[in-house]
Amino acid sequence: MAPEVQQLRTYGNFRRPRSAGLGGLGLIPTAVLFVFLAIAGTLAPLDMVLALIVALVGAVVLVPLAVRDRYGRHLGTLMYSRLAWGVGVMKGQNVYRSGVLSKVPGGKSLLPGLAMASDMYEATDGLGRPFGMIHYHEVEHYAVTIACSSQGGSLVDQGDIDSWVANWGQFMRTMSGEPSLVGFQVVVEVAPDSGEKLHNEITHQASDTASRLARQVMADIDRDYPSGSPTINTYLSLVYDASSAIGRSKRAASDMAVEIGRRLPSLTARLATTGAGACAPLSATEIAEVVRTAYEPGVSQLIDQARAAGRDSGLTWSQAGPTTHVAKSKSYWHDGATSVTWMMGEAPRGEVFSDVLRNLLSAHGDIDRKRVSLIYRPHSPAEAATIADRDFRAARSRTETTRNGQAHAEAEYIAAAQTRQEEARGAGLTLFGMVVTATVLDNDDADERNGEGGGKSRMQAAEVAVENLSAPARIALRYAWGSQDAGFLAALPIGVILPEHMTMKLPKTLK
């Protein structure tokens, strides 16, 4: 009897939401276009010069909204980002200093940018576990972080992997009904192992009666193993809105702590079925340690030494930020390290397998530390139905009005129809994005050996490595141009969802 061949499952139908409109214009810009055409047509018989002026003004206003790059961003967004970056550099907003010699009140090392107006609280959940809760005052969000001990897909049967993926899809669908949830993010961090945990384990387990050979072997392992073994940490951050309760105003931190603490046990239990392994919320000190290590990787060994000795590092939220950072247009220097951040410009086209991110999540010799953050913003069931119907109508309209690129419009129409049918059967809709950060440590020896550009060449090698790792996933990554510091912050497992922190939000029809 021939063995049964297991068919690999595929996943896909990732679509960028688009509104109906002519060409690259949205619904409102298309209506504005017709208004300008009507005014110009009315004035043409009376005063041709005035009609041409009106048409010229309309072109200046609408052309930047019609021209889009390969990532779907229109020219107006690009022009605004360049202008905002130039103004910020002239004001010195790309340089940050904290600590006792800075202008920061109290000499604290607060997080820069969007996370500066934040506080940390600590409470206990329904199982008595302490958890840290970050309060972002500007947007009235509360974030908690869960540490997961995921085992990965190595030496795991494909059937188990398919079950994990199915359970993760079910977890995402149920999160659309989570009260007050703004979004959540999954962060996978690959970092070098300091070896302190292994050293502590070997030291405490050593026996006085062990042979000389056994002692020598364990000493060699203690010396050589940590240098070649990266540590992979997985976190999940949940972000809740304090002002979304029905019939109530903004809730206090104590109320949010009670509400979130009641939900954490069931959330961690559900996560365990998705391949995340044993999950537990991070305490306030542990969150501060994760953030401080990201900004200053050199302190990771000191933190590991304290943990191995059973002591608390004593870090607080007011000490978690960098003492110095300099943000450039395509790089970010912070406390002895240089980072580059990319954002997802386009999701994979076509179908992908369950291991689509395997290469991107793996360690690389040219990258000292790396974080891959997936940000999810689930729509409620009511919103999902409205969006699916609107997206279907917009795709159908484009098939009727588009001449060039008809095949692409028809493919979008088929995908929109499939999404509409799946949503009607109970599937959920979720906005998602990705932020990738690669960090290299400043190496004085390498700089002296390679000349003044030694550090720069290491960063260039890391950038090439990220591009090569993302290629098999067919994910188009773009530099976080002019917002490297904000992108670095968004890749941390602290619940910073950038679209929610925008000071000026454009209507969806303008995007």
Task: Look at residue 434 in the predicted model and tell me its pLDDT.
Answer: 95
278 CB contacts (<8 Å, ≥6 apart)?
148, 149, 272
Task: Look at residue 258 in the predicted model and tell me its pLDDT.
Answer: 93
What's the rounded Cα separation, in Å, for the pair 255 and 283? Answer: 18
Q: Where are the beta strands (DSSP E) in 32-180?
A: 95-97, 118-124, 130-136, 141-148
Burial of 326 (0-12, 13-18, 19+ CB in 10 A): middle
Residue-by-residue DSSP string for 451-487: -TTHHHHHHHHHHHHHHHHHTTTT-EEEE-TT-HHHH
271 closest CA partner among 238, 230, 231, 240 = 238
Task: Look at residue 402 in the predicted model and tell me its pLDDT.
Answer: 67
Task: Look at residue 422 in the predicted model and tell me its pLDDT.
Answer: 85
Quickly count: other Cβ atoms within 10 Å of residue 329's Cβ: 17
Task: Look at residue 404 in the predicted model and tell me its pLDDT.
Answer: 63
- Three-state DSSP at 134 gives strand
Task: Look at residue 231 in the predicted model and tell me its pLDDT.
Answer: 85
Q: Please report, in tens digits, the pLDDT of each residue of the chain (511 residues total).
A: 445 556 788 888 888 777 666 666 777 777 777 787 888 888 888 888 888 888 888 888 877 777 777 777 778 778 888 888 889 899 988 999 998 878 888 788 899 988 999 999 999 999 999 999 999 999 999 999 999 988 777 778 888 888 999 999 999 999 988 888 999 999 999 988 776 777 777 777 777 788 888 888 888 877 777 655 688 899 999 999 987 555 557 889 999 999 999 999 999 999 999 989 899 999 999 999 999 999 999 888 888 878 777 777 889 999 999 999 999 999 999 999 999 999 998 888 778 888 889 899 988 889 999 999 999 999 888 888 888 888 888 788 777 766 665 677 777 788 888 888 888 888 888 899 999 999 999 865 444 434 444 557 889 999 999 999 988 888 889 999 999 999 999 999 999 999 888 755 554 444 5
Tokens of 505: 């939000």
Task: Look at residue 448 in the predicted model and tell me its pLDDT.
Answer: 40
Burial of 87 (0-12, 13-18, 19+ CB in 10 A): exposed
The pTM assigned to this predicted structure is 0.87
Burial of 105 (0-12, 13-18, 19+ CB in 10 A): exposed
What's the rounded Cα separation, in Å, for the pair 453 and 459? Answer: 10
